[in-house]
Structure 1
Amino acid sequence: MRRRAVGGVAAAALIAAAGPALAEPTSVEAATPPQGAGPMDQDLTRLSLEELAMVQVTSVSRRPEALADAAAAIFVISADDIRRSGATSLPEVLRLAPNLNVQRVNAGDYAISARGFNGFETSNKLLVLIDGRSVYSTLQSGVFWDGRTIMLEDIERIEVLGGPGGTLFGANAVNGVINVITRSPAETQGGLVQAGVGSEDNTLSLRYGGAVGESVVWRAYLSAFERDDSFRETGEEAADSTSGVRGGARVEWSGESDRVTLQGEIFDNQVRTNEDFTGTRTRVDGGHVRALWARDLAGGQLQVTGYYDHFGVTEPGLKERTYTTDVMVQHAFTLGQRHQIVWGGGFRRVKAALYSDFSSGLVPPERRLSLANLFVQDQIALGDAVTLTVGAKFEENSFTGSEFLPSVRLSWRQGAGALLWGAVSRASRTPNRIERDLTLPGFLEGGDFQSEALTAYEVGYRATPSPSTSLSISAFYNAYDDLRTVASDPASFLPLRFANGGEGTTYGVEAWGSWDVNDRWRLSAGAAWLEKDFQVEAGATDISGLASIGHDPRYQVQLRSEADLTDSLELDVRVRAVDALDRSDVEGFIEADARLGWRITDRLELAITGQNLIGDLRLETADPVRRRAFGRSVQASLRASF
């Protein structure tokens, strides 16, 4: 796990020199209650492609708009997609998004990125939000996926935004945003039991929702999981099994013009350190409480959101604790006939501490970090078919001071539901504690590492040419400056320090589409192609060999078939092909997953899912220390509501 990279300091220095990074993201909340699937007897009904085009999304403009009108490369994973995938964890669900690259590292850890820079220590340019709560680590700019064991049955939709989101979401929304939105308690009334038993994963989820009068709805849940060991490259078990339990509740009160949401949860996971295959137990625990007040105003809505989050890691010789307090205010309104404006601001305070029994580590071991921001965006109707969107965010952070993140988008609505759009945006990734505070006396010293910067150019086209077909295609060109390098002392070579000596470009194409062959059969396809060109800036040095750019496949392709064989039988098959990882010895692969579901009634479903059905063992990551192999697995599951 990445925490051990810091705990075992010498290894951390080189892997940090080759990899880690962190920053402080911003929060976002869907501007309206979740739209779409409802109770279980409804979410078994697949939406038509025309209905999917009208699903409300919030990640592009921070206010509800139809997916068909969103001027960005955004892919939506619905609740029904999640159910029919047979996935047992959030990272596995994210494989459904063709604009993401998902690399499984070991039994519990993943590296997930958009448009490059993937790797266990380098996937630091993707902002991840769960109901508006950022789940980035304040130690490095990545997500500790082994602590994000969200109850999948509660997810309303996942919006995967490819490209910068800095104007609305701030620093670290560089190459994309994953926005996980869970259901309102009004959509989860009654009881639900989900249980799965398999060769690799065992899962159990219990949920019950009710109402108090006509204005208050609530739900409470408890979930648990066990995940078996991954494998060494030679085939032996890697002693990295994980398990955990999570519980929480959510209450909503709705008045004539107001809505109040209160929610909270706690979790306690047991994972294993497996860099040396010893299987050392590590506890990953934490929880959060969150509150939202929304008031409908004439022509708009006012929101105030706040949360408190605790995340902890405890293992022999190492203890990490992070306490985050965040508050955000947002006002969305319409001005005249042409302007749709959203503006607001937020403040975040983080107490981050890492205590180690080793002789070196983070200096100081404890820091208090802050992030303040103001943002504004205006969607301007230039005519019946053309919309200009301009926006900017101003941020102030503890490490680098002020950041200015502007964007301009232009969209042209054409006939037959087609949308042509283009965008120019600036985004940045602010430093993290490892880049600023990691100290190894005589070898590595903390420095003045500054923000990495991106200027992105995008064009795209989205259409539903007929009621049975949909497609989306986008192209991008990204220019990066001040990327992380590891510089040596010009006189004595040591000590090393983190520097901003890298630069380069990426460009590529992302495309996906669906075809309803008939009322019972849908075919979908998605593909992504990526080219990279990076170098060290003139006059700079980098002893890590530009390790911070990660290891990415040049292309990936997926095909999905969702078929209702009868009124009660479903067959879902997904095939994915991933190219070899650049600058590594990790080969490309072709894999297939399949799920057979039997809908006994609208409230009772049995399913069997097979994953990785083609190859015996395969690698997905080039991480030199943690990479593990994965093989075939099968799981039988039951889902019942009452």
Structure 2
Amino acid sequence: MFKIHLNKRLMLYCCIGVGLLTTTVPNYAITDPDSDSVYDYLSSLSLEELGEVEVTLSDVFDIFDAVVAVKEVSVATGTNQSTARAPAVTSVITASDIEAIGATDLDEVLETVPGLHVSRRDFGYAPIYSFRGIYTQNNPQALVLINGIPMTGLFFGNRSHVWGGMPINSIARIEIVRGPGSAVFGADAFAGVINIITKTKNDIDGTEIGARVGSFDTYDAYLLHGDQWKGFDVAFSMEYHDTQGHGEIIEEDIQTSYDKMFGTHASLAPSAVNVQQRNFDARLDISRENWRLRTAYQGRHNQGTGLGEGSALNPNRLTEDRLHADLTYHNRKFTENWDVTTQLSFFNNESGAPVESWVLPPGAFGGAYPRGLFYSASFSERHTYLNLSGFYSGFKKHTIRLGTGYHYGDFYEVKELGNSGINPSTGLPLPPGSQVVDFTDTPYASMPEKARQNWHFFLQDAWAFAPNWELTTGIRYDEYSDFGSTTNPRIALVWQMTPDLFSKLLYGRAFRAPSFRELYLNNAAVPLPNPNLEPETIDTLELAIDYSVRKNLHLALNLFAYEWRDAVRFLPEPTDPNILSVQNAGKQTGQGFEVETRWLVNKNFSVLANYAYQHAVDENDKNSGFAPHQTGYLRTDWLVYPNWYLNTQLNWIADRKRAFGDPRTALDDYTTVNLTLRRKEIREGHWNFAMGVRNLFDIDSREPSVGPGQDGIITIPHDLPLAGRNYFMELRYRF
């Protein structure tokens, strides 16, 4: 039985907010727009329709050549809906928003979303997308999609630690759901869903090139092209990124602790964290009538390991090559009442590491490993998806969506090398300081080659049972070849209280599939696997209010509470407390709220702001730690002079507790300020120039490292530093 306890203060805030909103909203009649001009069109709209129109400073003053458009989201149900009506708590970030804030990577964009904080982990400095206090090192609880296709790997159950970021020039929009999405997307749509939609021919409509230079020896270049060719709509993009990384200093690592134990000086600390990158992305989108073919390549080379898998500074480099392809047939008028979509997609991922990849540096363990402790693993996996879905509108006041799909994931090649463990040739332990040996395809390999199959079926009904009321119910059943089945329901009640005021009461259940690392990895350096592991589950209850106060002022309030069960924990074995194993033994309950507003102050100035609060405790009723309890974001957009535009952003991260058992003091709060100055319409609109500064006041901002392990050692005592003050300049040209 699912129980959620909202504290009394939260409920009081909610009641006061509803009361204020409902007592101050007048009623307006609806008129139909019939003017071709933007201004005439806007003036002809009722406030109900204006509630669905996102009018930004750039729209009104054409700073970014945007058009006034309904702000829609498809990630909540699979069909386009306004964010106010969508049966989920959603955010949509457009290409205009991305350009306005001067973002250079996906992570910068996501940090603007209330309730979502981008943290870091030590291995690879990979991003952790923490929704509403749900925080784990490998972060499989956040589902990332590109054009609706999961980027989830089998080994970690996440985007991989060689994710390497996502460039932003080919992005048309990003749709984010805060909360569960398994009833629509299945596995891992647990804490939140991030769906990245790439640009089509209509989004690009011509040719654009650009280049950027910045601090830390950072260089970027890109090309976008969208046109028609022999009756086909064609879009093509290429993006290149190369950087040495911010090079912030790690004062101590795990080898520092070992040096103190053995009286050695093997650690490379204090030294710069290893976060260099070299990325190349290419995408092709071809469509005609009801058909669309998309292909993509993402190369991640010369990727720094952050602090490495062993939490010790090292010079290692990682690589990853990803191929994507999908063929989609979508016919909105398949029959009179059917809107049908069929999609076949393919995703292949190959990751690699050097043969002599340090886990610990030369001289480790009192000099027992004079050349270092090595372990190198390379993985290859492929995924094939086949999905069929359709909307049926033949019933009065009902829109039915149903679908089925199949996924085959093949972890088809694993290569392992190292200089510790069991020698495959002799069956005896390798002595310290041995040469690197190959464990591949031997009984002593820690990760077997495995495959997973998944079949699913879902059904959803949107029922407009009364004027201004809509009830959406849905359920999805998933059957897995390795851990069994799971069923996940959702219920959403949306009430249009007035033409400008929407309220939503939402319930959903989601699951997270066990990763291959948790099920099968048998390595003395990590907890024992558990082939009987169950999926993690979460139940979430939400209340959301969306209010267009005036045509230039929008407010939103979201309250949530959740219960996360069967969370994976590393716990001592009953037969031997010195050995850890993977177990479904954890639990987390959380609650909080998010407030956001967007205000067009006058014809030259707009403000966007949000604040989020969350409180979460574990199975021992102790603070869950790591994630900030409070976050705040402020963005201002100022038309300083015709065609000159200044964007200011302020990010506030506060109230981060340590997890239970970590003796360190809580992390300091931090506030960073970013500025971007942009000049457009240079020489008849062909040129676009921008310059920006990040972390203007050079604040020492840090993300949490993990606490003491079973041996009592804190691997990175002083946490993970983020970039200090840095600058960039960019130039774009549009043909």
Asked if TM exceeds 0.5, the reply is yes
CA contact under 8 A between 1:63 and 1:342: conserved in structure 2? Answer: no
Matches of 2:390 and 2:658, distance apart in 1? 46
Matches of 1:469 and 1:148, distance apart in 2? 37
Whichever residue aligns with residue 581 of structure 1, its letter is R
1:330 counterpart residue number? 389
1:128 counterpart residue number? 144
Matches of 1:420 and 1:408, distance apart in 2? 14
1:162-181 to structure 2, matched below 5 A, reads: 162-181=178-197
- One of 560, 581, 598 as aligned partner of 2:679: 598
2:126 counterpart residue number? 109
Deviation at 1:43, TM superposition (A): 8.2
Matches of 2:558 and 2:699, distance apart in 1? 35
Matches of 1:550 and 1:346, distance apart in 2? 38
Q: Report the CA distance shift for 1:138/1:443 in structure 2 as closer, same or farther (over 3 A).
A: closer
Whichever residue aligns with residue 519 of structure 2, its letter is R
Deviation at 1:247, TM superposition (A): 1.9
1:251 matched to 2:286? The reply is: yes
1:273 matched to 2:305? The reply is: yes
CA contact under 8 A between 1:117 and 1:124: conserved in structure 2? Answer: no
CA contact under 8 A between 2:403 and 2:458: conserved in structure 1? Answer: yes
Q: Report the CA distance shift for 1:224/1:113 in structure 2 as closer, same or farther (over 3 A).
A: same
Quick check: which has more Rg, 1 or 2?
A: 2
Deviation at 1:148, TM superposition (A): 5.5
- One of 378, 382, 391 as aligned partner of 2:465: 382
Matches of 1:410 and 1:175, distance apart in 2? 20
Whichever residue aligns with residue 285 of structure 1, its letter is D
Cα shift readout 1:391-412 (whole Å, capped 9, x = no counterpart) = 0000012332110000111111
1:509 counterpart residue number? 593
Comparing 288-297 with 612-621, greater Cα deviation is found at 612-621
Matches of 1:315 and 1:57, distance apart in 2? 39
Deviation at 1:550, TM superposition (A): 5.9
Matches of 1:164 and 1:550, distance apart in 2? 21
Matches of 1:521 and 1:197, distance apart in 2? 28
Matches of 2:149 and 2:726, distance apart in 1? 32
2:272 counterpart residue number? 237
Deviation at 1:311, TM superposition (A): 1.3
Whichever residue aligns with residue 302 of structure 1, its letter is V
1:209 counterpart residue number? 226
1:523-562 to structure 2, matched below 5 A, reads: 523-536=607-620, 551-562=626-637
Q: Report the CA distance shift for 1:405/1:127 in structure 2 as closer, same or farther (over 3 A).
A: same
Whichever residue aligns with residue 278 of structure 2, its letter is S
Whichever residue aligns with residue 448 of structure 2, its letter is P
Whichever residue aligns with residue 113 of structure 1, its letter is S
Matches of 1:593 and 1:622, distance apart in 2? 25
Whichever residue aligns with residue 628 of structure 2, its letter is P
1:163-562 to structure 2, matched below 5 A, reads: 163-200=179-216, 201-213=218-230, 215-229=231-245, 230-234=247-251, 236-254=271-289, 258-275=290-307, 276-297=312-333, 298-316=336-354, 317-352=376-411, 353-358=413-418, 359=421, 363-441=446-524, 444-447=527-530, 448-536=532-620, 551-562=626-637
Cα shift readout 1:94-139 (whole Å, capped 9, x = no counterpart) = 1121231111457862111211222433x22111111011112211
CA contact under 8 A between 1:487 and 1:497: conserved in structure 2? Answer: yes
CA contact under 8 A between 2:281 and 2:299: conserved in structure 1? Answer: yes
User: What SS does the corresponding residue of 2:619 show, helix, strand or coil?
Assistant: strand
2:657 counterpart residue number? 582
CA contact under 8 A between 1:527 and 1:558: conserved in structure 2? Answer: yes
CA contact under 8 A between 1:330 and 1:342: conserved in structure 2? Answer: yes
CA contact under 8 A between 1:227 and 1:243: conserved in structure 2? Answer: yes
Deviation at 1:87, TM superposition (A): 1.4
Matches of 1:442 and 1:510, distance apart in 2? 40
Comparing 449-458 with 221-230, greater Cα deviation is found at 221-230
Deviation at 1:277, TM superposition (A): 2.8
Matches of 1:274 and 1:147, distance apart in 2? 13
Deviation at 1:382, TM superposition (A): 1.1
Matches of 1:510 and 1:165, distance apart in 2? 19
Matches of 1:514 and 1:397, distance apart in 2? 43
Deviation at 1:375, TM superposition (A): 0.7
Whichever residue aligns with residue 351 of structure 2, its letter is V
Whichever residue aligns with residue 248 of structure 1, its letter is R
**Which structure has more strand as a fraction of its residues?**
1
Matches of 2:209 and 2:504, distance apart in 1? 43
1:614-625 to structure 2, matched below 5 A, reads: 614-623=697-706, 624-625=715-716
CA contact under 8 A between 1:607 and 1:636: conserved in structure 2? Answer: yes
CA contact under 8 A between 1:442 and 1:495: conserved in structure 2? Answer: no
Q: Report the CA distance shift for 1:184/1:602 in structure 2 as closer, same or farther (over 3 A).
A: same
Cα shift readout 1:362-385 (whole Å, capped 9, x = no counterpart) = 755211111211111100011111
Q: RCO (CA 8 Å, sep 6+): is it higher in 1 or 2?
A: 1
Deviation at 1:157, TM superposition (A): 1.0
Q: Report the CA distance shift for 1:527/1:442 in structure 2 as closer, same or farther (over 3 A).
A: closer
Deviation at 1:299, TM superposition (A): 3.5
CA contact under 8 A between 1:90 and 1:148: conserved in structure 2? Answer: no
Comparing 626-635 with 174-183, greater Cα deviation is found at 626-635
User: What SS does the corresponding residue of 1:382 show, helix, strand or coil?
Assistant: strand
Whichever residue aligns with residue 379 of structure 2, its letter is E
Q: Report the CA distance shift for 1:493/1:147 in structure 2 as closer, same or farther (over 3 A).
A: closer
CA contact under 8 A between 1:399 and 1:430: conserved in structure 2? Answer: no
Q: Report the CA distance shift for 1:505/1:374 in structure 2 as closer, same or farther (over 3 A).
A: same
Matches of 1:244 and 1:342, distance apart in 2? 39
Deviation at 1:263, TM superposition (A): 2.8
Whichever residue aligns with residue 403 of structure 1, its letter is T
Matches of 1:363 and 1:238, distance apart in 2? 28
Comparing 139-148 with 564-573, greater Cα deviation is found at 139-148
CA contact under 8 A between 1:127 and 1:173: conserved in structure 2? Answer: yes
User: What SS does the corresponding residue of 1:345 show, helix, strand or coil?
Assistant: strand
User: What SS does the corresponding residue of 2:96 show, helix, strand or coil?
Assistant: helix
1:45 counterpart residue number? 65
Deviation at 1:268, TM superposition (A): 4.1
Deviation at 1:633, TM superposition (A): 0.7
Cα shift readout 1:579-607 (whole Å, capped 9, x = no counterpart) = 14221643210110000001124331100
CA contact under 8 A between 2:281 and 2:296: conserved in structure 1? Answer: no
Q: Report the CA distance shift for 1:65/1:457 in structure 2 as closer, same or farther (over 3 A).
A: same
CA contact under 8 A between 2:488 and 2:510: conserved in structure 1? Answer: yes
Deviation at 1:340, TM superposition (A): 0.9
CA contact under 8 A between 1:557 and 1:577: conserved in structure 2? Answer: yes
Whichever residue aligns with residue 44 of structure 1, its letter is F
CA contact under 8 A between 1:151 and 1:205: conserved in structure 2? Answer: no
Sequence identity percentage: 20
Whichever residue aligns with residue 671 of structure 2, its letter is I
| 4+ residue segments displaced more than 6 Å | 35-39
Matches of 1:468 and 1:349, distance apart in 2? 48
CA contact under 8 A between 1:147 and 1:285: conserved in structure 2? Answer: no
Whichever residue aligns with residue 439 of structure 1, its letter is N
1:565 matched to 2:640? The reply is: yes
Cα shift readout 1:209-247 (whole Å, capped 9, x = no counterpart) = 22124x311122221111223312448432331112222
CA contact under 8 A between 2:125 and 2:305: conserved in structure 1? Answer: no
**How high is the TM-score relative to the length of structure 2?**
0.76
Deviation at 1:345, TM superposition (A): 1.3
Matches of 2:132 and 2:500, distance apart in 1? 27
Matches of 2:242 and 2:295, distance apart in 1? 25
User: What SS does the corresponding residue of 2:667 show, helix, strand or coil?
Assistant: coil
Matches of 1:176 and 1:208, distance apart in 2? 32
